[in-house]
Structure 1
């Protein structure tokens, strides 16, 4: 049974993880966030919260 022989499956597993680890950091670093903070949000991060019921 081929499932009991780890030699070819280990090589496939190892090569797939090497490809995964070499390509994913590049894809992740290319990601840019959609909502960058504006200057007003950085200067005034805490606005008072007005509750609808007093």
Structure 2
């Protein structure tokens, strides 16, 4: 069964992760978010939903 032989696939997986960690991740983290989350000071009051069949 070729799935059990890690020889051809381990190096591919390792190179993929190294590429992602060293090249892609810093590029992706350099983007700024357009909508940063805001802190709400007052709690939001919810009203219960009235179901028509109850």
TM-score by length of 1: 0.52
Compute the TM-score of the two structures, normalised by the length of structure 2: 0.52
Q: Which runs of 4+ in 1 moved over 3 A?
A: none
Question: Which structure has the highest helix share of the two?
Answer: 1
Number of aligned residue pairs: give it: 39
Structure 1: gaps spanning 5 or more residues: 37-45
- RMSD (Å), alpha carbons: 2.5
Q: Which runs of no fewer than 5 residues in structure 2 stay unpaired?
A: 46-54
**CA distance in structure 1 between the aligned counterparts of 2:33 and 2:8, rounded to whole angstroms:** 41
Q: Deviations over 1:5-38 (max 9, x none)?
A: 1111110110110111121122211x112247xx
- Counterpart residue number, 1:4: 4
